[in-house]
Amino acid sequence: MRQTALFTKTRKNAPSDEVSKNAQLLIRAGFIHKEMAGVYSYLPLGRKVLERIEGIVREEMNALGGQEIRMATLHPSELWKQTGAWDSVDVIFKIQSRTEKEYTVGQSEEEVVTPIGKEYITSYKDLPLVVYQIGQKYRDELRAKSGIMRGREFSMKDMYSFHATQEDFDRFYTLAKDAYLRVYTRCGLVAKATEASGGSFTQKLSYEFMVLTDAGEDDILYCDTCSFCVNAEISAQKEKDACTRCSKGNLSRAKASEVGNIFDLGKKYAQDFSLTFKDKEGKEQHPIMGCFGIGITRLMGVTAEALSDERGLVWPKSIAPFQVHLVSLGGKEQVVKEAERLYALFSERGVDTLYDDRDLRAGEKFIDSDLIGIPLRVVVSEKTLEQKKYEIVVRATGERCMFSEEELLQKVL
Ligand code: ATP
Ligand code: MG
C-alpha cells in the first residue's frame, strides 16, 4: 500500500486522558481511534494486525477440530436468567427495549452455545463437539485504563467443547493447552500457563495464559527452573519460596497480563438447559463442557506494551501490519523510479509492503517508520543507488546493512 493513500497519519500526541502506553503508541501511530474509555475503533493498520492474530488463532483452533461459527451478539434476557447469570454476573450490560423487553450483549456465550448444542447432540456419537467464534464482546468493566488491554468492547476468540466423559474432556484440555501455547509463541510472545481458580461454579483449577509485562493487572509467581506458574491470588506461597513442584528452583513474582483462559465447565450449563445425550448403554447423560477464551485485542495491546521501545511499536513478523516498509528518500527521478520498481516487484512476489512515497524529509519518514514498527525497512536513496544496493534496517534490533537486490529478495520472501 502507498502511504500517500493511507488515510491515517501519525500524530505527536495521544489524547491527554489516555494513560496506557499501548493505546498512546497505537493512537499516535494511527492503528486505533479512541471513542471513549475502553472503546476503540480499529483503523487500517490496526485492523490488519487483528486479522493476522485472528489468522493464527483460527489455524490452531481448526487444527484442534474446532468448527467456526458466529453466534448472535444480542441475547434475550431469558437465556441469562435460566443460568442465573442475569443477576450474578456484574459485568453484563442490560438493555431495555421500547417494547419493554430486556436484552444483553455477549460477554461470553455459554447461554447461546448450549441451546445450539442441544439442537444437534442426541447421542454419544455426536460427541465431542467443538465450536468457536471470533468477535466483539461487551463488558461493563469498572476500570478501563489499560487501553486495548481492558476494553468495555473488545474482541475475543471463544471456543466451547462438549464431551461424553471426563476422560475425553481431559484429553482435549491437554491438547487445547498446547495449542494455546503455540498461538502465543507464533504471535512472538512468551506466555506462561498459570494455575488459577476455576471460577464460581467449580472447585477445579483452570489455566490462565500470562505474558509478563508491568502493564499487566495480575500478579503471578513462577519457578525459575521448571514451568510451574501460579496466580498469586490463589497461592499460599510467596516470592523467593522454594518451588514445591520441582523442589529445585525458587519462585519469583511478576506483573502479567492474562491473554487466555481455559475452563472445565462441568455439567453446569448442560443441566441448566436440560441438554442430554444417550451414552453407549442408552442412558441419558449430561455432557461435560469446556470454555476456552483468547483475548484478541488484548494480545495486540500486550504486544504493543511488551515489545515496543522509546521510538515506537515493534511488531513481530507474524502479526505485523506489513512485512516491509519501503522508504524512498528525496524526489530525484532515478530514486523514485527505482523505489517504484521495487514496490511493483514486492507486490508481484506477495511481500506485503507499505511504500512511503510521501514528499517528506528523511528524518520525518524515519520517525514515522520507527513509530509504526514494521519489522523491516528498505531504504532507496541516491546513496544506495550509487552503490547499486539497498539499505535494510531491522526495526527490533536497529541492525543495518547494505543488500544487493538478490540478497534483499532472499531476506523478504
Ligand atoms: P480478566 O481477569 O482480565 O478480567 P477474565 O477472567 O474476565 O479476564 P475471560 O472471561 O476468561 O477473562 O475471557 C477470556 C479472555 O478474554 C481473557 O483471558 C482476556 O485475554 C480477554 N479479556 C477479558 N476481559 C477483557 C477486556 N475487558 N478487554 C480485553 N480483553 C479481555
Ligand atoms: Mg474480567
What is the C-alpha to C-alpha distance for residues 66 and 117, in angstroms, rounded to an integer? Answer: 14
- Cis geometry, peptide bond prior to residue 128 (ω within 30 degrees of 0): yes
Ligand that comes closest to the CA of residue 231: 1
Per the listing, cell 509485562 goes with 213
Distances (CA, A) of 53 to 81, 133, 137, 187, 244: 34, 14, 17, 7, 36
Q: Name the grid cell of 263.
A: 475452563
What lies within 8 Å, CB to CB, of 242 at 6+ separation is: 249, 250, 251
Q: Which of 231, 298, 299 to mutate to test the pocket of ligand 1 (most atoms within 8 A of CB)?
A: 298
- Pocket of ligand 1 contains residue 141 by CB under 6 Å: yes
With b for 16 or more beta-carbon neighbours within 10 A and e for fewer, the 244-283 pattern comes to ebeeeeebeebebbbbbbbbbbbebbbebbebbbeeeeee
Q: Is the dihedral of CA 257, 185, 178, 47 positive or negative?
A: positive
- Pocket of ligand 1 contains residue 293 by CB under 6 Å: yes
Single-letter amino acid code for the residue at 35:
E
Single-letter amino acid code for the residue at 390:
Y
What is the C-alpha to C-alpha distance for residues 367 and 378, in angstroms, rounded to an integer? Answer: 14
Among protein residues, the one with the nearest Cα to ligand 1's atom 12 is 261
Among protein residues, the one with the nearest Cα to ligand 1's atom 25 is 150
Beta bridge pairs of residue 277: 285
Query: Helix (H, G, I), strand (E, B), or coil: what is residue 408?
Result: helix
Q: Name the grid cell of 175.
A: 491438547
Among protein residues, the one with the nearest Cα to ligand 1's atom 24 is 150
CA–centroid distance, 300 to ligand 1, in Å, is: 13
- Pocket of ligand 1 contains residue 223 by CB under 6 Å: no
Q: Name the grid cell of 409.
A: 529478495
- Pocket of ligand 1 contains residue 260 by CB under 6 Å: yes
CA–centroid distance, 91 to ligand 2, in Å, is: 8
CA–centroid distance, 217 to ligand 2, in Å, is: 11
Query: In terms of Cα–Cα distance, which of 4, 22, 14, 73 is closest to 259?
Result: 22
pLDDT at res. 348: 96
What is the C-alpha to C-alpha distance for residues 371 and 243, in angstroms, rounded to an integer? Answer: 41
What is the C-alpha to C-alpha distance for residues 182 and 175, in angstroms, rounded to an integer? Answer: 11
What lies within 8 Å, CB to CB, of 29 at 6+ separation is: 10, 45, 312, 313, 371, 372, 373
Q: Name the grid cell of 99.
A: 417494547
> What confidence tens digit (pLDDT) does each residue in 281-316 have?
999 999 999 999 999 999 999 999 999 999 999 999
Q: Name the grid cell of 35.
A: 471513542
pLDDT at res. 202: 64
With b for 16 or more beta-carbon neighbours within 10 A and e for fewer, the 35-60 pattern comes to eebbebebbebbebbbebbbebbeeb
- Pocket of ligand 1 contains residue 191 by CB under 6 Å: no
Among protein residues, the one with the nearest Cα to ligand 1's atom 2 is 258
Torsion angle, alpha carbons of 128, 133, 139, 141, to 10: 90
Ligand that comes closest to the CA of residue 199: 1
User: Pairing between strand 400-403 and 251-266?
Assistant: unpaired
Instruction: Report whether 117 contacts 71 (CB < 8 A).
Output: no
> What confidence tens digit (pLDDT) does each residue in 249-277 have?
999 999 999 999 999 999 999 999 999 99
Ligand that comes closest to the CA of residue 150: 1
Which atom of ligand 1 sits closest to the CA of residue 152?
A: 27
- Pocket of ligand 1 contains residue 21 by CB under 6 Å: no
Sheet strands side by side (includes 400-403) = 353-356, 324-328, 376-380, 390-394, 400-403
Which atom of ligand 1 sits closest to the CA of residue 294?
A: 15
Which parts of 187-295 fold into alpha helices (H)?
268-272
Burial class (CB in 10 A: 0-12, 13-18, 19+), 17: exposed
Sheet strands side by side (includes 94-96) = 74-76, 102-105, 94-96
Single-letter amino acid code for the residue at 89:
V
CA–centroid distance, 324 to ligand 2, in Å, is: 36
Among protein residues, the one with the nearest Cα to ligand 1's atom 1 is 258
The region, left, alpha or beta by phi > 0 then psi within -120 to 50, assigned to residue 79 is alpha
| DSSP summary character for residue 309 | B
Which regions of the chain are under pLDDT 70? 199-203
Q: What are phi and psi of 337, to 5 degrees?
A: -60, -40
Which atom of ligand 1 sits closest to the CA of residue 156?
A: 16
